[in-house]
Amino acid sequence: MIVRRFCALALAGGLALTGASVAHAQSFGGLAKGAEQGALQGALGQTGLGGTTTSGTSGLLGSVGLPSLSSASTGNVTGILSYCVQNNIVSGSTATSTLNSLTGKSNVTSDTSYTAGQQGLLQVGNGNQLSLASLKEGVRKKLCNAVLSKSQSLI
């Protein structure tokens, strides 16, 4: 009985440290996901999850434990879009024309953050980067779609 209470207390403390919500405590799968999100947020210096917005970029990624694109520069967003197009994560005339429009702007491709983006590194602020290659395929696709939406707003 005492051991069971201690385990419950340790689990509750662990949830508080990882930032997992009470809803994640419904199942062990939810616990793992919450711990993963909390660890990623801690590593990236993020403090909370954002809500979905109509633009599809600011806060949308927070619902899957990733940072918002709001702190990424135009050069980095363009480089990430290039990465997404080259790796067939997003395709079609919209993605290609958006990429062409942005790379045609002055100083976009000469920005060092553009080169990082082409390598699949999203610069999330405070010197932190997130590698798209380290993400699961579904999350990477969501991120690339959000980058495409953000890129269209930069034209």
**Percent of the chain at pLDDT exceeding 90:** 50
CA dihedral 80, 107, 126, 39 (to 10 degrees): 0
Residue type, 14: G
End-to-end CA distance of the chain: 63
Mean pLDDT confidence for 119-133: 92
Structure-block tokens of residue 30:
């939810």
Mean pLDDT of all residues belonging to the chain: 72
Q: What is the pLDDT of residues 92-116, one digit of tens each?
A: 999 999 999 999 999 999 999 999 9
List, as one string, the DSSP characters of 77-124.
HHHHHHHHHHTTSS-SHHHHHHHHHHHTSTTTTTSHHHHHHHTTEEEE
Q: What is the pLDDT of residues 8-36, one digit of tens each?
A: 444 444 434 344 333 333 334 443 344 44
Residue type, 145: N
d(CA 77, CA 64): 19
pTM given for the model: 0.61
